[in-house]
């Protein structure tokens, strides 16, 4: 069985332990041999919100592990406790749904090689240097770290949009390592200052659908809120592009603030925001998160620069991402949306 799971011994959290120690503002992953790092308050929160029972935690992990080994013996995936717990917590300890999420996680990587091939921080350093995304150093009062995006920093002739997706995915992989994030979830803050027609129309519906599919159904993270600020008039067209792919609960978590900082502060307190957004936390510094990711280069090489984890695994068609036929249909839809964007602009 070890031959089928030759990645299990390669545990990225241990590889990055020394590097993480140099970034004390961001919590590290659980130890290589799993030991719960949650505070008593978070243990209680996990019990209430995620149906996680500490006394049954390792039993639940073993149940999921047994399902993987029995139903998908050729799947090369990590089977350590800390890794499998991410999927159980993301699906409130429903074994079947956690297994489906794990398979989707690997299926997304197989279906989108231009994102996941050779995925490591050094290959997206230009995205990080541009300031397209960062993670704010202070979590909100609910313990949720804030993924901060600035789409207007990117121009279509800078580099392919898919590089932004690669940087976002690496950031999510790092964010989900601490158990605190697995319980609390994250918040997204997106500043649309400077977004014009070229940025709004570039991704297209096929790419938008793949991004949304991974975030909703293919990654073990809980996105608790999406705050949009300084959105231009054409944002209605942008949102029309992605809304058909959003689940109702996720669509309801989008909050549009315009240029009203008071509205933003009702959702994200100023205490955790940089001064550009009415907070006391100093000027926005995108370099800290960039350094943290780049210092974990070896970890991501182990995680993503390995043989295809789904080689030899047969998945139901319903689990795979839509192919070129779907892309053609969605392009027809996009033509109509594009005209909306021009009208709004």
Q: Which domains does the chain have, with CATH numbers?
A: 40-111 (1.10.8), 117-297 (3.40.525.10)
pLDDT band at 323 (very low <50, low <70, confident <90, very high): very low
Which residues, at least 6 apart from 326, have a Cβ–Cβ distance to it below 8 Å? Answer: 206, 209
What's phi and psi for 75, nearest 5 deg? -75, 120
Mean pLDDT of 108-114: 88
For the beta carbon of residue 117, count every other beta carbon within 10 angstroms: 12
- Kindly list the distances between the CA atom of residue 211 and the CA atoms of 115, 161, 242, 283, in Å, as whole numbers in the listed order: 10, 11, 9, 30
Q: Is the pLDDT of residue 7 over 50?
A: no
Q: Is the pLDDT of residue 160 over 80?
A: yes
Predicted pLDDT of residue 208:
75
Q: Is the pLDDT of residue 296 over 50?
A: yes
Are the beta carbons of 62 and 81 closer than 8 angstroms? no
pLDDT tens digits for range 208-244: 778 888 889 999 999 999 999 999 887 877 787 788 8
Highest average pLDDT, of 19-23, 277-281, 341-345, comes from 277-281
Q: Is the pLDDT of residue 203 over 70?
A: no
Predicted pLDDT of residue 265:
98
Predicted pLDDT of residue 337:
43
Predicted pLDDT of residue 202:
66
pLDDT band at 123 (very low <50, low <70, confident <90, very high): very high
Which residue would you say has higher pLDDT here, 204 or 271? 271
Percent of the chain with pLDDT over 90: 61
Token output for 319: 């689990």
Find the radius of gyration of the CA atoms of the chain.
Answer: 20
Q: Is the pLDDT of residue 188 over 60?
A: yes
Measured between alpha carbons, how far is 270 from 97 in angstroms, rounded to an integer? Answer: 37
Which residue would you say has higher pLDDT here, 306 or 14? 306
Q: Is the pLDDT of residue 303 over 50?
A: yes
Angle between helices 287-295 and 162-175 (to 10 degrees): 80
Predicted pLDDT of residue 23:
65
Measured between alpha carbons, how far is 163 from 238 in angstroms, rounded to an integer? Answer: 19
Q: Is the pLDDT of residue 44 over 50?
A: yes
Predicted pLDDT of residue 33:
87
Predicted pLDDT of residue 13:
46
Are the beta carbons of 149 and 195 closer than 8 angstroms? no
Which residue would you say has higher pLDDT here, 195 or 140? 140
pLDDT band at 32 (very low <50, low <70, confident <90, very high): confident
Which residue would you say has higher pLDDT here, 76 or 238? 76
Q: Is the pLDDT of residue 39 over 90?
A: yes
Predicted pLDDT of residue 245:
86
Lowest mean pLDDT among 8-22, 33-47, 216-230: 8-22
Closest CA to 159 of 107, 123, 185: 123
Q: Is the pLDDT of residue 302 over 90?
A: no
The mean of the pLDDT values for the chain is: 84
Predicted pLDDT of residue 1:
40
Q: Is the pLDDT of residue 25 over 80?
A: no
pLDDT band at 80 (very low <50, low <70, confident <90, very high): very high
Are the beta carbons of 33 and 335 closer than 8 angstroms? no
């Amino acid at each position: 069985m070890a031959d089928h799971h030759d990645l299990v011994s390669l545990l990225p959290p241990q590889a990055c332990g020394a590097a993480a120690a140099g970034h004390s503002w961001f919590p590290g992953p659980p130890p290589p041999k799993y030991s719960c790092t949650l505070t008593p308050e978070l243990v209680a929160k996990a019990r209430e919100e995620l149906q996680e029972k500490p006394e049954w935690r390792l039993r639940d992990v073993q149940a999921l592990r047994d399902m993987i080994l029995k139903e998908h013996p050729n799947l090369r995936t990590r089977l350590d406790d800390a890794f499998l717990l991410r999927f159980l917590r993301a699906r409130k300890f429903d074994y079947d749904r956690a297994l489906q999420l794990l398979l989707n996680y690997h299926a997304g990587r197989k279906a989108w090689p231009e994102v996941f091939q050779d995925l490591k921080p050094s290959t997206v350093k230009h995205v990080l240097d541009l300031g397209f995304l960062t993670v704010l150093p202070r979590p909100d009062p609910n313990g949720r770290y804030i993924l901060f995006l600035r789409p207007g920093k990117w121009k279509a002739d800078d580099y392919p949009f898919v590089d932004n997706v690669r940087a976002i995915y690496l950031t999510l992989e790092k964010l989900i390592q601490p158990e605190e994030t697995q319980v609390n979830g994250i918040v997204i803050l997106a500043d649309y200052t400077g977004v014009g027609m070229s940025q709004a129309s570039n991704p297209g519906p096929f790419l938008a659908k793949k991004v949304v599919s991974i975030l909703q159904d293919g990654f073990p993270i809980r996105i608790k809120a999406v705050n949009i600020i300084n959105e231009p008039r054409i944002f209605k067209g942008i949102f029309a592009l992605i809304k058909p792919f959003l689940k109702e609960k996720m669509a309801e978590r989008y909050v549009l603030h315009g240029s009203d900082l008071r509205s933003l502060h009702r959702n994200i307190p100023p205490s955790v925001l940089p001064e550009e957004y009415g907070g006391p936390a100093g000027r926005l510094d995108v370099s800290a998160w960039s350094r943290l990711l780049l210092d974990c280069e070896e970890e991501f090489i182990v995680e993503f620069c390995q043989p295809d984890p789904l080689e030899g695994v047969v998945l139901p068609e319903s689990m795979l991402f839509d192919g070129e036929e779907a892309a053609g249909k969605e392009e027809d839809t996009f033509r109509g949306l594009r005209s909306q964007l021009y009208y709004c602009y």
